[in-house]
Chains A and B, each alone.
Chain A
Amino acid sequence: MSSDGDEMDYDDFEFEDDEGIEDDNGSQTSIGEAYDAFDDGVAGKPVKKDPWDISYQPKSVEELQEEQKVLVDRVCGLIDSDPSTAATLLRHYHWNPEKLSDKFWEEPAKTLHAAGLSPPSSPSSSTKPLPASNNAKASSSRSRLEPVPTESFECPICCLEFEPEEIASQTLSLGCEHRFCKGCWTEYLERKILDEQESGRVQCMEDGCGRVVGERTVIALVNDKAKDRYRVLLDRTYVDDSPQLKWCPHPGCEYAVFCKESPARKLDQIIPIVHCACGNDFCFGCGFANNHQPLTCRYVKLWQKKCADDSETGNWLMANTKECTKCNATIEKNGGCNHMTCKKCRYEFCWVCQGDWQSHGTSWYNCNRFDEKTGQDARDSQAKSRASLQRYLHYFNRWANHEQSAKLDHQLYQKTERKMEEMQNGSDLTWIEVQFVKRAADVLLEARMSLKWTYAMAFYMKKDLSTEIFEDNQANLEQAVEALSEMLEKPIDATTIMQLKSDMVNKTNYVKKRAEIILDDTLKGHYESRWKFTDRD
């Protein structure tokens, strides 16, 4: 550690003027361009097929670190600096090496200053400023630059005194006019990192000095715990600073997702859902921790706010049971399917609209549609507001019902899976053969999530000819989902399983197809601005 103190003075702005500009291979590596390759779709990566699809790439912490290293190395070459300076500059210039290097060669001193780096007062690292022991007069002692100090030094923070020969190894300045002992630096930096969660922008201890403490200085001074935390925080700022990177919002997931399109301006046309390496989806546009297609970010936000504000919503969520419309017996829903049969009177009805189930199985299926006439015919304001509440509840019921049904479907699936495991023990069914139930449950869940958001979408849509096709598609998927959900409820035994398997595989494929149809049409419609919305409340 003998000469560390000296070297570190300059680790933030080491320039070797004799080397000049060197561009290793002329490649233009910036965060964005580095991923052009992925647009073509690497195996296992999302393939962009329609203009409203986006290409993206989940990134592990290791990959993010590697990227930062590549960019830092590139800047080192571009502006001839050490890695610590390059990293500090990159952090300030949002990880854009070209912009940074242009600015730098235009106005080197100003560029360094803006990033919290001061330009070297002299190209030689042997002439660092050493303030006089009375710190109050330090700024006026600029001319007292001595290669070997002859006076002792008192740290202005702890007031401990250091002999001339100790100064080099025990004290440190960042190249500005302010020198402090290493003990104080360590205490200060560990506090900033561990307590205040700061990393790339920690400044000199002197009041008002904007000099940033470089990476190498931090690493050399703090304990292991702070070092680890510092690296984590630095990685975090790398993602936070880039509009093309976003952390996965799912708890415990350490991946970030890279999406070059970063379509902040196109969010009424594109719904940028990404599938993270952790297995979960999230929206790159609004950060929503799930797939909210086919509703756009803006209306997802409005819808959620409306549901949170509305008291009717709370009442609905409380209700797990309903009364049979014929005999008033209490009926509890225990599966995802909406087809209810009263145990007492055998009346078959729809859980959502409480209408006769008969019409739900036919082409007369109308359960998804809201009759807008109710509102138009309303005369006085009271009737109007009643109609608008009815309209909201119509869509909210269907939206919330899919959410709840998905949970119930999942419970049913788990029950079925356990049963099949038991059956497997006593039969020659293979593990592969029973996967069809899992696939059915997965497809069903995804379809329910899409359906769910189509109801929030319908709430905000202006009805016209094109929405009729939308509602037809919605009705078709709704029916298919109900049929598949009902199959999950069927009892399984060794004699029926082969028939059930073939039925369920067919139905699963059909649901998948219907879900694709409505998603393709709605997403295309957004892209073409075909749908008209109103911000009703």
Chain B
Amino acid sequence: MSANLPKRILKETERLVADSPPGIEAHPHEDNLRYFDVKIDGPGGSAFEGGIFKLELFLPEDYPMAPPKVRFLTKIYHPNIDKLGRICLDILKDKWSPALQIRTVLLSVQALLGAPNPDDPLANDVAQHYKDDEKGAIAVSKEWTQKYAV
């Protein structure tokens, strides 16, 4: 498997494992080096503080020309993340640049946890809740974090 893995992926993986950004962990699967188990700590001061969120990250055949596929595995109450864990993040879609890396993507996801954007929603009901009653919505996010992200 690793024999025909591009040099770019090998280098990124090496650096990710040896020197991961604070609050982020990513490990490739033994049997598929394009598939990563990811853990992101909820940013301090956010409704997700104290939670550890599991994600999966997959590098498609045409990576880095195409963006990695990233999905939350841990249930989360967030306006830009839907029930299936899919994330609404511009750099994962039309704003992708091949110069971006797994590291930058995961940092952006972490930043999204710290700054939910209900004006660009993926989970419409959650976004509406955030707009109508931010306090109440944050309370639900905290509750879910306690319940699922431990």
A159 to B5, CA, bound (A): 12
**Other-chain contact of A159, B7, B100, B104 (Cβ < 8 Å):** B7
Q: Decide: A159 and B65 in contact? CB cutoff 8 A.
A: no
Is B11 an interface residue, CB under 8 A from the partner? Answer: yes
Contacts of B10 in A (CB 8 A): 159
Give the shortest distance, in Å, between A436 (CB) and chain B (any CB): 59
Asked if A503 lies at the interface with its beta carbon under 8 angstroms from chain B, I say no
Q: Provided the pairs A135-B99, A205-B97, A207-B97 are in contact, do residues A157 and B64 lie with their beta carbons within 8 angstroms?
A: yes
- Cα A184 to Cα B100 with chains together (Å): 14
Query: What 0/1 pattern do residues 1 to 29 of B give for CB contact below 8 A with A?
Result: 00000111011000000000000000000
Q: Is B98 in the interface zone, CB < 8 Å from A?
A: yes
B6, B62, B91, B99: the one within 8 Å of A156 (CB) = B99
Task: Tell me the smallest distance from the CB of A293 to a CB of chain B, in Å.
Answer: 41
> How many angstroms from the CA of A404 to the CA of B15 in the assembled complex?
71
Interchain CB contact under 8 A, A205 and B8? no
Residue A312 interfacial (CB < 8 Å): no
- A157→B98 contact, CB < 8 A: yes
Measured between beta carbons, the chain A residues less than 8 angstroms from B98 are 157, 184, 188, 205
> Does B7 contact A207, Cβ atoms closer than 8 Å?
no
A157–B8 CB distance below 8 A:
yes
How many angstroms between the C-alpha atoms of A187 and B63 in the bound complex? 11
Cβ B99 vs Cβ A207 within 8 A: yes
A275 interface residue per 8 A CB criterion: no
Inter-subunit contact B7/A157 (CB<8 Å):
no
Chain B residue contacts of A205, Cβ below 8 A? 97-99
Chain A residues closer than 8 Å to B91, beta-carbon distance: 207
Q: How large is the interface on B (under 10, 10 to 19, 20 to 34, 35 or more residues)?
A: 10 to 19
Contact present for B6 and A191 (CB under 8 Å):
no
Chain A residues contacting B6 (CB-CB under 8 Å) are 158-159
A479, B25: Cα distance in complex, Å: 83
A178 within 8 A of B: yes
Whether the pair B65, A178 counts as a contact (CB closer than 8 A) is: no
Q: Max chain B CB contacts within 10 Å: which of A160, A187, A207?
A: A207
Instruction: Tell me whether B99 and A206 are in contact (CB under 8 A).
Output: yes
Which residues of chain B have C-beta atoms less than 8 A from A159's C-beta? Answer: 6-8, 10-11
Q: Roughly how many angstroms separate A218 CA and B78 CA in the complex, as a whole number? A: 42
Which interface residue of B6, B62, B64 has the most chain A CB atoms within 10 A? B64
Q: How far, in angstroms, from A159 to B6 measured CA to CA in the complex?
A: 9
Q: Which residues of A contact B64 (CB under 8 A)?
A: 157
Query: Bound complex: CA of A191 vs CA of B60, how far in Å?
Result: 15
Q: Which residues of A contact B62 (CB under 8 A)?
A: 191
Which residues of chain B from 57 to 105 have a CB within 8 Å of any chain A CB? 62, 64-65, 91, 97-100, 104
**A487 vs chain B, min Cβ distance (A):** 60
- Kindly supply a per-residue 1/0 record for chain A positions 353-390, scoring 1 wherever the CB is within 8 Å of any chain B CB and 0 otherwise: 00000000000000000000000000000000000000
Given contacts A157-B99, A207-B99, 15 further A-B contacts (CB under 8 A): A135-B99, A156-B99, A157-B8, A157-B64, A157-B98, A158-B6, A159-B10, A159-B11, A188-B98, A191-B65, A205-B97, A206-B97, A207-B97, A207-B100, A207-B104
Q: 23 A-B contacts, Cβ less than 8 Å apart?
A: A156-B99, A157-B8, A157-B64, A157-B99, A158-B6, A158-B7, A158-B8, A159-B7, A159-B8, A159-B11, A178-B99, A187-B65, A188-B98, A191-B62, A191-B65, A205-B97, A205-B99, A206-B99, A207-B91, A207-B97, A207-B99, A207-B100, A207-B104
